[in-house]
Amino acid sequence: MLVKWTRCTVVDRRGFERGQRKWAGLLGEPGFRGQGGGWSRMRPQVAHTVTFWESRAFYDSFMARSHDRLAVAQAGTFKDAQVRLFDHRFDVKTGFEPRFTDADLLRVALCRVHEERAEHFTLMQEKVWNPAMAGSPGMVRGLFGEAPGSEFLVMSMWKSSAEHGKYRTERVERLALRAQTEADVAHITGDVVALEPGWTV
């Protein structure tokens, strides 16, 4: 499965939200699996979307044929768009599905890892972080994705910000020490996103 993560700074909120609803046109596109997104909890003018495709071939075909027709509705409503594509490596918890209806919060972490530490980073994700997140009552589902250049996406969905907050305060520092995260990661950008039901496709 291919995961497309997009982040942008919105300059016309109403226009952007109107345009976002046009992405319902993705339904019926060959290989499309689902899309969701919302507003950053830390920077209110920043929007995130995550889109899932069965494969890179289906995604490339969509980009060549239909993308611009759907995207035109949001033209001029945002700036500084960042787009990254990741291959799904494994689930956080089990049975990941690109569904957003049972979660209120999305946590995304984009990690650029030292090349010689990429294998260790992946192993620690499986052995340390995954079991901890999967064991948190409010965590619904998540995934770990990889892009060329030792870039990784860790994405998790949560029932509420309170549940995510509990996990953060109780566990994160201790887990980071155990996983030697500081030695693995060159750069990390994270955000917490309040999911907008109207953006789910």
- Burial bucket for residue 129 (CB in 10 Å: 0-12, 13-18, 19+): buried
pLDDT tens digit sequence for 65-96: 999 999 999 999 999 999 999 999 999 987 89
Q: What is the pLDDT at residue 77?
A: 98
Q: What are the residue ranges spanned by the domains of the chain?
A: 2-199
Which residues, in sequence order, are bridge partners of residue 143? 91, 155
| CB contact at 8 A, 48 and 10 | no
* CATH class label, 2-199: alpha beta
Say how far apart CA 188 and CA 182 lie, in whole Å: 10
Q: What is the pLDDT at residue 166?
A: 81
pLDDT tens digit sequence for 21-76: 999 999 999 999 999 999 999 999 999 999 999 999 999 999 999 999 999 999 99
Please determine, for residue 103, whether its predicted confidence score (pLDDT) is greater than 90: yes
| CB contact at 8 A, 50 and 155 | yes
pLDDT tens digit sequence for 108-156: 999 999 999 999 999 999 999 999 888 888 999 999 999 999 999 999 9
Q: What is the pLDDT at residue 136?
A: 87
Overall average pLDDT of the 187-201 stretch:
96
Q: Which amino acid, one-letter code, is at 25?
A: G
pLDDT tens digit sequence for 152-181: 999 999 998 888 888 776 778 888 899 999
Q: What is the pLDDT at residue 135?
A: 87
